[in-house]
Amino acid sequence: MGALHTIDLVIIVGYLIALSSVGILFSRRQTSLEQFFLAGRRMSWVPVGISLMACLNSGIDYLMQPSAVMKYGLVLVTGALSWLLLWPWVAGVTLPFYRRLNVSTAYEYLERRFDLSVRWLASVIFILWRVGWIATAMYVPCLAISGAAGGVLPLRPTIVVLGSVVILYTALGGMRAVIWTDIIQFCIMFGGLAATVAVVLGHIPGGLSEVLQTAGDAGKTHLITGIRAPEAAGLLERIRLFFTTDMTTTGFFVAVMVGRMAVYTADQVMVQRFQTARSLKDSRQAFVINAVGDAVWTLGLAFVGLTLFAYVARDSAFAGLPADHIFPAFLSSKFPTGAVGLVIAAIFAASLSSIASAINSCSSVVMMDFYRRLRRDGAGAGSANSPDEERRQVRISRWTTLIVGACAITLSANVGTIGDLIEIANKVIQLFTGPLFAIYVLGLFVSFAGSRGALVGGATGAAVSLYVAFWSGLAFVWPASLGFLAALVSGVAVSVIGGRPSEEQSRFTFRGVMNDRSRLVASAAAPALLSGQTDSAGLQATVRALEDAGEKSRQLDRK
């Protein structure tokens, strides 16, 4: 395989320098944590929607989707149908719920509904989940560029360089820089995808008809796939095969639904992004952009997979390569000069947008759910709203960003030992989504669920997810789904036995929050009152919070 041309390297390096420049541009505008983490809550629906799509997808998809389609076929595109089922959940439940609470992190809610220990459990699960995800998202584009360069660029040093760039602009520019770089990267992602489709299809003499014929003959165009059980197999054997077969339509679709419902309920990356929008209407419109963009992206990458499958059937030189390495090898040997740089930049764009969002969100959880929450109980709480204190906390947030990024870089250098990309996606990226989602389902809809049930449920679900992923022998699509089920069942069981919530806590169900306007006003005043701010500045801050909450309640009525 060949090496990168100078023109390709110039495109890649120029792109990385442009990203760093965006971070430097916005660095001086970050004077408070609300600016650093929420962009002042003044973003319109178009940039938020584009940013959501960019941060939801990464370079993992750029390599994983084609290789997975080559291996399993078009059954993977059934995941795009999940957006139709997600719309009523996101538009009718999670978006209005979080807008009503007006929280900075998703886990603030859990302290109000349960207690501080549940908030911290969910925060820790989120950080572990997202650090593993960041590591994988760093690994994939570096695998691509290392393969395209013919081994000239070693994998681990490439990970360090790429990780350092994304950490730099995220630490400097905060959420505003993340969103605007996401828009740039959205354009590059789709430009690279269009170039990929055109170049790969151009290497198939028979064009689209040959691609469909070759894929169809191999059974890759089937949307429905199930278990292959002998006719004499009994019920228990069929159940065993269902849970141990790597890919079935039902198992895959359930995994996608659980993962995405968890993301739009319990993932700080998404909650934080929606909280940057100006209104609930903007958030809903942003979700539509996100869903449509993701569906087009998924279908485009699936077509690339079918086309590569048809090409490999013609060229025996690629036949012995692992599926994850076919696209980088094709990129290196068949793409014209300049197009290689564009596609690698697109893979970088897909990865860096999601990495930056995840790092920023991990930092926001550390600052809001641990640092600020602990400081609220300390002697220094009274100065929390001073300009000097806000600037100091922004500096601490930047250092936190650096530490989170360094941990992810270290893990990224070793993530390739787990398996192929679709296995990594389900065993690492989706590992803790199910248990985290179950904690929120308990809080939102199980009125008798208490903190003991949430703690036991979350811990049990996390243990089950780990076991299913690495030691059970079950298919790789099941860790999150079975972890969700275990967490929900154990959480309900423990709550039935004892440890029910107080009357105040039970009011923070979905119905209670949406129906109780006075709760919105009271919750706005709670931080200042709990911090002991009884001086003039503290009372003024409380009055402002009450006024803002009242106005927000009136706005929600109008919407």
Enumerate the domain spans of the chain. Answer: 6-81+117-214+276-374+385-411
The pLDDT tens digits along the chain (559 residues) read 445 678 887 887 887 777 667 666 655 555 555 555 555 566 777 778 877 777 777 667 777 888 889 989 999 999 899 999 999 999 999 999 998 887 778 899 999 999 999 999 899 888 888 887 788 878 877 877 777 666 667 778 888 887 787 777 666 655 566 676 677 777 777 887 888 888 888 989 999 999 999 999 999 999 888 887 777 788 899 899 999 998 899 999 999 999 999 989 988 878 877 877 888 898 999 999 989 988 988 999 999 999 999 998 888 788 778 877 788 888 878 888 778 777 777 777 667 767 777 787 888 888 888 888 887 654 333 344 577 777 787 788 778 888 888 888 887 877 666 566 667 766 767 778 899 999 999 999 999 999 999 999 999 999 999 999 889 989 988 999 999 999 999 999 999 987 788 888 988 999 999 987 544 444 444 444 434 444 444 445 544 554 455 555 545 444 4
What is the architecture, at CATH level 2, of domain 6-81+117-214+276-374+385-411?
A: Up-down Bundle (1.20)
pLDDT of residue 534: 42
CB 437 within 8 A of CB 258: yes
Question: How far apart are the two ends of the chain, measured CA to CA in Å?
Answer: 58
310, 210 contact by CB (below 8 A):
yes
261, burial (CB in 10 Å: exposed 0-12, middle 13-18, buried 19+) = buried
Model pLDDT, residue 170: 66
Q: Are 50 and 293 in contact (CB under 8 A)?
A: yes
Q: Contact, 460 vs 231, CB < 8 A?
A: no
CB under 8 Å to 152, separation ≥6 — which residues? 3, 4
Counting beta carbons within 10 angstroms of the beta carbon of residue 230, is it exposed (0 to 12), middle (13 to 18) or buried (19 or more)? exposed
What does the alpha-carbon distance between residue 179 and residue 37 come to, in Å, rounded to a whole number? 11
User: Given the structure tokens 């940057």, which residue do they identify?
Assistant: 276
pTM: 0.80
Distances (CA, A) of 337 to 3, 146, 148, 194, 349: 10, 16, 12, 16, 19
- Rounded CA separation 427/141 (Å): 19
Token duo for residue 211: 């691609």
